[in-house]
Structure 1
Amino acid sequence: MSATKLGSSKMLMLVLVLATLALASAGMALYVLMGARSSEAAVVTTPEAPPLPPIFVRIEPFTVNLPEDNYGPRLLYTGLSLKVADERSRQTLVEHMPQVRSRLLMLFPGRKAAELTAPGGKESLLAEMHAVLQAPFSTSHAAPAIEDVLFTEFIVQ
């Protein structure tokens, strides 16, 4: 065989090897990309755990004397529920219910009936109650995580 034919067959062999490697690399890259997309699709399609039900702490209704106004002595009858973030907060509130009720009862006597029935009166009262109840009840317990204060009953007479 001549040197030219030998050199040309080596060149052909080299081109075939390089082409095979290029195709194999392209195939591997395609496989990896398709595998990554299918795993992303699997993550998206997996159902999420259902949300946990809300935790409420009911506070028994109570009646409070309000200052006299043009209509004479006034009363407030109200019931509340507290929406808490976790079971620990619920337990803390249940254990310290006398303190919870006392803190709330201390808010009402200075309020006038007209303030409570005015637009925004209940909302400002709810905000004050939320702030008062967020404070820790003792040094051994963390402050309860109260998400919302809700009126369940509200009568001004």
Structure 2
Amino acid sequence: MARSLGLDRTGRDRPDVHIATAAVDPALAQGIDADVAAAGVEIALGGSAGANVPATGGGDIHVGRTEGDVAVTTGGGDVRLDSCLGSTEVSTGAGDVRAHVAGGRWQARTGAGDIIVTVPPAVPVWQDLSSPLGDVTSHIGGRGEPVEGHEHIEITARTGTGDISLS
């Protein structure tokens, strides 16, 4: 039996929300940080998420935008990040990972699943991609080494059985 939890902003600038349950479908309002520990859930954060991004035992996670140092973890489920800026770490035991990396350092690891990453054009990208039992494809041509003080992106992606695509 799934429970639904609606959260509204209070008078504080960035209220924290802590949820621990076996089954919940939290509809989290834009601008609210959430710390979620749950099993078998689907979590969607439509706004901007800081360091407190949900973690699930099994379920999909979708975050509209990440900023700063962020870790996203699910034991078994897909992860989708619409825009990542800062330092982002994604981990899923079995699931696909899709992300647009706008800047910073991005790392993803999945035991079994595909990883699809897009980056802005013309920004230098350092790539470290590995899949022992899948195809690894980078559609990024030579953009040169980053000049000190200029923007660049670092991408590290690992999957045990799955494909990796960077474009």
Q: TM-score range by the shorter chain?
A: under 0.3
Greater share of strand: 2
TM-score, normalised to structure 1's length? 0.20
Larger Rg: 1
Greater share of helix: 1
TM-score, normalised to structure 2's length? 0.19
